[in-house]
């Protein structure tokens, strides 16, 4: 774990729970793509940089989930490096309480204010103002979080953040976190147009062929949508639905899974509602969800 692996002439990644990209701009300088899940990750990154004799020029945060920005504070305080992301992600990077608050839907109780859902604050700047390495490209990856981005290095290697997850992770957890299902499916379509030499998801093994992994993620998301429709043949309120999904997949709920899975399922219900496949109504002070009746065919 935390092994530095060379992926291209000047492109590396640190193999850890949330893969960290490294792009070498000279023999002495590098950029990071994300910073790991906590301050210990920051320490390990600093040790790797020192072993290689590299100076850190800057950090690009693909998005503001705690497991991607957890090393920011330590690295910024020790190495005085700038951090860049998109405007909405910068807001969470600077005010990490926004992540568990958003997931929970209110002020998060103490058990949710932990390093897995809330990083320590760091100072971030709009990536539009960054003087990035020549030939490096930033591209939007909507769906998973507010304004997530990916990074293409001049070695034609793509860092895909959490746009797709590895097959083993999907088999274990079934539901990958998504904020905007419509944007997620659009991103999957976009990913199938890319032409690179290597694709590196943050949570999964690098692949040379991206389309099969994209299709696995698409199929799993559609499986969840179809499950929700099946469960809502009869009206269900949300907590009942959440319980049934956990039971269906044999998942074990804890506080973190409650907010992560719950937020994702709410987003999927919104997607089904907006596409006319789900209805919502209030009765007896409950908000119920029910599969929409099919639209009669025109004569």
Q: What is the pLDDT of residue 298?
A: 65
Please state the rounded mean pLDDT for residues 193-203. Answer: 98
Q: What is the pTM of this model?
A: 0.95
Residue 49 has pLDDT above 70, yes or no: yes
Q: What is the pLDDT of residue 296?
A: 67
Enumerate domains of the chain plus CATH numbers. 3-162 (3.60.15.10), 234-291 (no CATH)
Residue 44 has pLDDT above 90, yes or no: yes
Beta carbons of 116 and 69 less than 8 angstroms apart: no
Q: Mind listing the pLDDT tens digit for each residue in 260-299?
A: 999 999 999 999 999 999 999 999 999 999 999 987 666 5
Task: Give CA–CA dist 262/40, Å, rounded.
Answer: 29
Please state the rounded mean pLDDT for residues 191-214. Answer: 98
In the chain, pLDDT over 90 holds for what percent of residues? 97
Q: What is the pLDDT of residue 118?
A: 97
Beta carbons of 118 and 93 less than 8 angstroms apart: no
In the chain, pLDDT over 70 holds for what percent of residues? 99
pLDDT bin (cut points 50, 70, 90) of residue 251 is: very high
Q: Mind listing the pLDDT tens digit for each residue in 122-176?
A: 999 999 999 999 999 999 999 999 999 999 999 999 999 999 999 999 999 999 9
Q: What is the pLDDT of residue 32?
A: 98
Please state the rounded mean pLDDT for residues 26-41. Answer: 97
Beta carbons of 3 and 196 less than 8 angstroms apart: no
Higher pLDDT, 13 or 296: 13
Q: What is the pLDDT of residue 201?
A: 98
Residue 227 has pLDDT above 80, yes or no: yes
Residue 194 has pLDDT above 90, yes or no: yes
Give me the chain's average pLDDT, please: 97
Q: What is the pLDDT of residue 1?
A: 83
Residue 8 has pLDDT above 90, yes or no: yes
Q: What is the pLDDT of residue 35?
A: 98
Residue 203 has pLDDT above 80, yes or no: yes
């Amino acid at each position: 774990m935390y092994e530095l692996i060379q992926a291209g002439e000047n492109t590396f990644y640190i193999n850890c729970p949330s893969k960290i990209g490294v792009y070498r701009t000279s023999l002495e300088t590098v950029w990071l793509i994300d910073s790991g899940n906590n301050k210990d990750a920051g320490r390990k990154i600093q040790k790797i940089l020192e072993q290689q004799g590299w100076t850190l020029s800057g950090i690009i945060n693909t998005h503001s989930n705690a497991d991607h920005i957890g090393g920011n504070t330590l690295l910024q305080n020790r190495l005085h490096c700038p951090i860049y992301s998109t405007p909405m992600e910068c807001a969470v990077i600077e005010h990490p309480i926004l992540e568990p608050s958003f997931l929970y839907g209110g002020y998060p109780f103490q058990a949710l204010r932990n390093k897995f859902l809330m990083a320590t604050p760091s100072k971030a700047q709009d990536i539009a103002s960054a003087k990035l390495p020549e030939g490096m490209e930033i591209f939007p990856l909507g769906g998973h979080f507010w304004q997530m981005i990916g990074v293409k290095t001049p070695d034609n290697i793509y860092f895909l953040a959490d746009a797709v997850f590895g097959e083993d992770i999907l088999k274990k957890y079934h539901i990958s976190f998504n904020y905007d299902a419509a944007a997620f499916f659009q991103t999957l379509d976009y990913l199938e147009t890319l032409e690179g030499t290597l694709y590196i998801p943050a949570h999964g093994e690098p692949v040379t062929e991206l389309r099969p992994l994209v299709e696995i993620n698409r199929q799993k998301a559609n499986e969840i949508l179809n499950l929700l429709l099946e469960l809502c043949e009869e009206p269900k309120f949300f907590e009942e639905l959440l319980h049934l999904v956990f039971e269906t997949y044999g998942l074990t709920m804890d506080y973190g899974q409650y907010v992560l899975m719950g937020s994702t399922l709410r987003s999927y219900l919104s997607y089904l509602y907006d596409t006319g496949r789900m209805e919502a109504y209030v009765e007896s002070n409950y908000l119920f969800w029910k599969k929409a009746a099919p639209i009669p065919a025109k004569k």
